[in-house]
Amino acid sequence: MLSEKEKKVVREIDESREEIVELLRDFIGYKTISPRPQLDIDRSEHRDFTALACEILEELGFELDVWEVDPQKLENFPGSGVEPDKDLSDMPVVVGTRESSGDAKSLILNGHYDVVPAGKRKNWNHDPYGGEVVDDKVFGRGACDMKGGIVAMLKAIEFVERVGIDFDGDLTVELVPDEESGSMGTLSCCQRGYEADAAIIPEPTDMENILLAMRGNQCGSITVFGRAGHADNPQPHWRSGGAVNAITKSAKIIDCLKELEEDWRDRPDKKHRLLPSDTIVPTIIEGGDWLIKYPEEVEIEFDANFIGTENPREEIEEKVMTVAETDPWMKENPPEIEFYPWLYGAEVSEDEELVKTAKSVIRELFDTELKPTGTGSLTDAIHLINYSEIPTISVGPSHTGAHETNEYIEIEELIKTTKILALMVLRWCVFSQ
């Protein structure tokens, strides 16, 4: 049953819907695109966004710690995902801390402000950076993933304060880049020493789910070799100097990756109550450089996701090389495999006190039972859970177009997420003593 103080906070949120929506519209206007080598992005957008976030946190009484991540200075270990050569300059991490002399528990609220590219403008019905409000929805890149969650975090704290409630536990807010492409922003926070009794990341979970488990990730590339030749001319056998089509050979490698995934799907050691079995998906293929020429090289990039912290790269390599051994050309000219930096999976027990608190908040607010769930992808929770050993959950809005065109968030779900976080903060940092 909600206390009178909690009811007061909820009423304040209901009466302030417009200002919550307006802050999200402002946030969407910043093109804080996650960095990748092939992308030409304007890093002033990241600086300007974090400058606004700093203003808000300072007004809320937080002490600020702002820095840029230098990947070469991060501790690099198996599963860390550290990419030493990645450029994260002008994409600051912002951490706000409020210490208390009380006896309540401490909490981290973490959110990533980087977003994936919008893609082709013509495929959007609304300006991807316009924050347009249509039919009680706010449209734009990052609306649900996860600038909506960041707005809910900041506004939840503000409304708790606005009704005159003091915090009795330490509260930390982390706003980070790079979640969409590496998770080094949050890893940097962990390695800088920020800790708490628990953490919440309001990633999209469809409101009725609580995210407790996520798979690890291993991406990489497989280069398949051929031999150049004129495509218009009949070719002798390759042992007699004839051309070899690298695209044809690469088809065998793609087929073997599918076979490996099917094997994983049926294996008992790849089963999990909350997660899908391991997967490996070819996602990018490049080959050939002239229309009338046998392609002499094909590169296949793949995305593999796996349960737990045991990386399946040895299985992947063994499968590819076993298939190559069955092809005379590839046996003598074997494919080359490159594994990119990888990220471990993570899981939180359903018995954690934070999980119980979240369930009670949702039950009392909306008469709904939260369902434990997992994600086939991963979030920054992996480092909070594995590196810092902080129980971390996600509860947030629906996956309405995340990473797709016409991304949006229902205004009602934005408001609900704000209420959830406000009451979680109250019960963890105020009433938990």
288-316 confidence digits (pLDDT tens): 999 999 999 999 999 999 999 999 999 99
φ/ψ of 285, rounded to 5, equals -135, 135
All residue ranges of the chain with pLDDT < 50 are 433
Give this prediction's pTM. Answer: 0.94
Residue 1 pLDDT? 87
Superfamily (CATH) of domain 4-214+345-429: Zn peptidases (3.40.630.10)
Domain locations in the chain as residue ranges: 4-214+345-429, 216-339
Pairing of strands 392-393, 198-200: parallel
* Cα 90 from Cα 103, distance rounded (Å): 38
What CATH number labels 216-339? 3.30.70.360
Q: Which of 77, 100, 277 has its CA nearest to residue 190?
A: 77
Residue 335: count of CB within 10 angstroms of its CB:
24
Tokens describing residue 26: 């402002």
Q: Tell me, yes or no, if the two domains 4-214+345-429 and 216-339 fold the same way.
A: no
pLDDT single digits (tens) 317-374: 999 999 999 999 999 999 999 999 999 999 999 999 999 999 999 999 999 999 999 9
